[in-house]
Amino acid sequence: MVNVRILNYDIIGPMIGPSDGVAETPRRFHNREMTNVTFIRDRWSLCSFSRLYLHKKNTDKQPYSKLPGVSLLKPLKGVDSNLLSNLETFFELDYPKYEILLCVQDDDDPAINVCKRLLGKYPNVDARLFVGGKKVGINPKINNLMPGYAVAKYDLVWICDSGIRVKQDTLTDMASQMTERVGLVHGLPYVADRQGFAATLEQVYFGTSHPRSYISANVTGFKCVTGMSCLMRKDVLDQAGGLIAFAQYIAEDYFMAKAIADRGWKFAMASQVALQNSGSCSVAQFQSRMIRWAKLRINMLPGTICEPIAECFVASLLIGWAAHHVFNWDIMVFFLCHCLAWFISDYIQLQGIQGGPLAFSKLDYAVAWFIRESMAIQIFLSALWDPTVRWRTGRYRLHCGGTAEEILDV
C-alpha cells in the first residue's frame, strides 16, 4: 500500500504541509530569519507556476483519433439560471468518442426538462438520461450516479459536477494527461466571471487561498484532487469495489482518489481549470460551503486543527512576533508589511489563474480579499461548534475517519 496524504478540494479544502510542526533547535535564530525568505520564494514560485502551466496548450498530446473513449457521469439536482448553458458546453465538446450519462434522482426534478431539451437539440451526441438513482448508501451523489455508472461503456469515467462549464478542448486536455502510469486527472477549481460581490468573493478565494495549497501540494508530490471535475480509470475504481464502495462517505472523491493512489497510480493536473459557474451565489452560501468543508477536514484529518496558522493574519502575527523576538522589529509594522506582501502576491497569482483580465476592479479585489481573510478564523471556529453538515437535501452527522450517518427528521 502506498503511504500518501490525500486532500479532496471539492469537499476538503486547503491542506497543512508535510511538516505540521517543527521542534525548537539551537539553530532557531537562523530558522526564523529564513521564514520570510522561504515565504517570498514559495509565493513567487506559485505565481510563476500559475502563469506558466495553467491555460497552456498541450503540444505533446495524443493524436486526435487515438484519444480513449470517455463516459461522462453528470449528477444533477435542481435548476439554476446557468444549468442549461453549463450542460450545453458538454454537448459541444470537440472529442472523437464520448458519451454523456445524465443522472437525476427525483422524478419531479425540473432538471429533467433541461436534459430532454438538450437531448432533442443534439440528437447526434451519444447521451442518455437516467432518473431515479439507486440507494446504496448515505451519499446522495453516489446514489444518483449508480445507474449511469453501471452502463458506462468506456474505460475512462469523467465525474463532473452540474455547476461546471467547459471549453471545447477541455476533455482533450484531460485525456492527453492520462498517460500510462496515470490513474486520475483532475482540474484546479476556479470560478467563472459573474456579477455581484458574492461572485467576486468566491473568485478571489478560488484564485488565492485555495490554489495556494492545492498547487503547492501537487508540485511537491502530495495527492491533492478535486471532485468537481475528475477523470479516472474505471477498471481501477472497479478493483476498489466500484462507486458503491464509497457510498458511506460524504467526501467520496477523497476516498476514490485514495483508492487509486493505494494501487500505485499517479495523478496529473489538467492545464485547464475546473470552471464553476453556478447560477446561485451569495455570501451566506459561500460561508456555509466553507464551514461544511472545514467540518469534513476536522473529522477526517486531525492536522486540520493547525490550519488557522496558515491564514494570512495569524501567520503574519506569529512571524511578526518571531521577528520581534529575534531582531527586535516592531510587531505591527512587520505585520502590516507581511500582509501587504501576501496581498500583492495573491493578486499576481489570481491573475495567473484567471488567464486574462479580471472582471472586477483592484478595489473590489482588496475588499473581497480582506473580507475573505477576516472570515477564515470565524469559519474555522463555527466548524468546531457543530459536527453535523447539510448537503444537498440531507443532514448528516460526521464521524472520525470520514464516515457519516444521515439524520432523519421525525
**Which residues are known to be catalytic?**
253
The pairing of beta strand 189-191 with beta strand 274-276? parallel
Question: Which residues does residue 274 pair with via DSSP β-bridges, in sequence order?
Answer: 189
As separate numbers, helices (DSSP H) first and strands (DSSP E) second, the chain gives 13, 15
Q: Which residues contact 309 (CB under 8 A, 6 or more apart)?
A: 315, 318
Q: Which residues contact 100 (CB under 8 A, 6 or more apart)?
A: 72, 74, 90, 91, 125, 126, 127, 128
DSSP calls for 80-119: -TTHHHHHHHHHT---SSEEEEEEES-TT-THHHHHHHHH
How many CA atoms does the CB half-sphere of 137 hold within 13 Å?
A: 18
Q: Which residues contact 345 (CB under 8 A, 6 or more apart)?
A: 43, 44, 46, 47
Distance CA 213, CA 205 (A): 12
DSSP calls for 117-184: HHHHH-TTS-EEEEES----SS-HHHHHHHHHHHH--SSEEEEE-TTEE--TTHHHHHHHT--TTEEE
Q: Which region holds residue 358: left if phi is over 0, alpha if psi is between -120 and 50, else beta? A: beta
Distance CA 100, CA 148 (A): 9
Yes or no: say if 387 and 400 are a contact pair by the CB < 8 Å rule.
Answer: no
Q: Which residue has the cell 475517519?
A: 401
Yes or no: say if 56 and 271 are a contact pair by the CB < 8 Å rule.
Answer: yes
Question: Which residues does residue 269 pair with via DSSP β-bridges, in sequence order?
Answer: 186
